[in-house]
């Protein structure tokens, strides 16, 4: 069978593989586009396996929201260049929508997309297109009848927040605040006692001998004020609200008759040890070969 340019084009659009690879696959399978596509997919899977051990610490956070459900998905690539690639971005958006119907990452990988392929099979095809390791790393979800906001900042930070009371605008504003300020805790009462005890030790050690010699009740008041400030800094409720810094988040919530039930925040690559390339050493080593 003649391998026409149109046939090569069709296979390339279907698989995302290079033109020469498509022509070779069609030639080897006598123009059978289905068989050629399957062969390229198998080749892509082989490439994906080879790249699986490479560190993927860049990438993108994508969000989706529908009928009280909201999800964030972190998908990693090896470089920021690929994270901005249209194929990669399209994959992250598709996976985020699919995540609305999945309970966790492992379940998500098995979800079938509109193409008929699973998320995992599509991931392997993306690896073949972009030439880097791509990993569906983690997801967060909230399923609630309360106000839920999903917010992504620059593709690098994603937030889900659940608010009882208030409205959608308040929930979105709080999600933006959490993205910017990254509070470790929700309310002041959520701050662990051991953290507070350690901060008291630190504040006491920083004081001068003269201050430490003051009466116990005065010393306690001084230390208490410093600790209260620290606790506010590490709790969402105690922080100045980014959209109105004259008010704390707690004051804004109180005025709206609302309460933050909980939130989740993901940042691309957090917790992944990145490999620092020594290009000078690599070049020097190559010159000795």
CA dihedral over 196, 201, 202, 207, signed as positive or negative? positive
| Closest among 272, 271, 266, 270 to 158, alpha carbons compared | 266
Which range among 27-31, 209-213, 284-288 shows the weakest confidence by mean pLDDT? 284-288
Rounded to an integer, what distance in angstroms lies between the CA atom of residue 261 and that of residue 69? 15
* pLDDT tens, position by position, 127-154: 888 888 899 999 999 999 999 999 999 9
Tell me the angle at which helices 168-181 and 249-256 cross, rounded to the nearest 10 degrees: 170
pLDDT at 10: 80
The per-residue pLDDT for 262 is: 97
Residues 176-190: tens digit of each pLDDT: 999 999 999 999 999
Q: Is pLDDT above 50 for 117?
A: yes
Residues of 14-38 as b/e, b for ≥16 C-beta within 10 angstroms? bbbbeeebbbbbbeebeeebeebbe
pLDDT on residue 46: 41
Between 6-20, 78-92, 155-169, the lowest mean confidence (pLDDT) is in: 6-20
Whether 223 has a pLDDT exceeding 50, the answer reads: yes
Q: What average pLDDT is seen over the chain?
A: 87
What is the number of alpha carbons within 13 Å of residue 67 lying toward its C-beta?
A: 3
| Per-residue confidence (pLDDT) for residue 218, from 0 to 100 | 85
- Of residues 139 and 277, the one with the higher pLDDT is 139
For the chain, domains (ranges, CATH) are 5-51 (1.10.8.10)
pLDDT of amino acid 230: 94
pLDDT at 245 over 80: yes
pLDDT value, residue 214 = 82
**22 near 40, Cβ under 8 Å?**
yes
Structural tokens at position 125 = 């095809």
Query: Residue 53 pLDDT more than 60?
Result: no
Q: Say which residue, 83 or 211, is predicted with more confidence.
A: 83
Q: Is the model more confident about 43 or about 209?
A: 209
Residue corresponding to tokens 């790393």: 137
Q: Span 218-227, mean pLDDT?
A: 88
State how far the Cα of 240 lies from the Cα of 248, in Å rounded to an integer.
4
pLDDT at 234 over 90: yes
Q: Tokens for 74, please give them.
A: 């972190």
Q: Say if CB 161 and CB 171 are below 8 A apart.
A: yes
State yes or no: pLDDT of 101 exceeds 50.
yes
Neighbour tally for 153: CB within 10 Å: 14
Q: Return the sign of the alpha-carbon dihedral for residues 17, 21, 23, 26.
A: negative
- Taking the C-alpha atoms of residue 196 and residue 204, their distance in angstroms, rounded to an integer, is 12
pLDDT number for residue 51: 56
């Amino acid at each position: 069978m003649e391998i026409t340019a149109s046939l090569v084009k069709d296979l390339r659009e279907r698989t995302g593989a290079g033109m020469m690879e498509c022509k070779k696959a069609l030639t080897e399978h006598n123009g059978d586009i289905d068989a050629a596509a399957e062969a390229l997919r198998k080749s892509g899977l082989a490439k994906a396996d080879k790249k699986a051990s490479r560190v993927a610490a860049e990438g993108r956070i994508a969000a989706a929201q529908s009928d009280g459900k909201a999800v964030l998905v972190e998908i990693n690539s090896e470089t920021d260049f690929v994270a901005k690639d249209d194929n990669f971005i399209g994959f992250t958006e598709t996976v985020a929508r699919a995540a609305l119907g999945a309970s966790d990452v492992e379940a998500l990988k098995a979800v079938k997309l509109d193409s008929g392929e699973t998320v995992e099979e599509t991931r392997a095809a993306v690896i073949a297109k972009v030439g880097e390791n791509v990993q569906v790393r983690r997801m967060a979800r909230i399923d609630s009848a309360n106000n839920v906001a999903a917010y992504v900042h620059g593709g690098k930070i994603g937030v889900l927040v659940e608010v009882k009371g208030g409205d959608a605008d308040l929930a979105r504003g709080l999600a933006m605040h959490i993205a910017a300020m990254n509070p470790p805790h929700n309310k002041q009462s959520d701050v662990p006692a051991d953290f507070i005890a350690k901060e008291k030790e630190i504040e006491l050690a920083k004081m001068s001998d003269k201050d430490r010699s003051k009466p116990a009740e005065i010393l306690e008041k001084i230390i208490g004020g410093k600790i209260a400030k620290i606790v506010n800094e590490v709790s969402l409720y105690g922080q100045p609200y980014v959209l109105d810094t004259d008010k704390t988040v707690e004051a804004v919530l109180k005025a709206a008759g609302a309460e933050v039930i909980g939130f989740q925040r993901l940042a691309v690559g957090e917790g992944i040890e990145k490999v620092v390339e020594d290009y000078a050493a690599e070049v020097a080593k190559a010159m000795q070969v």
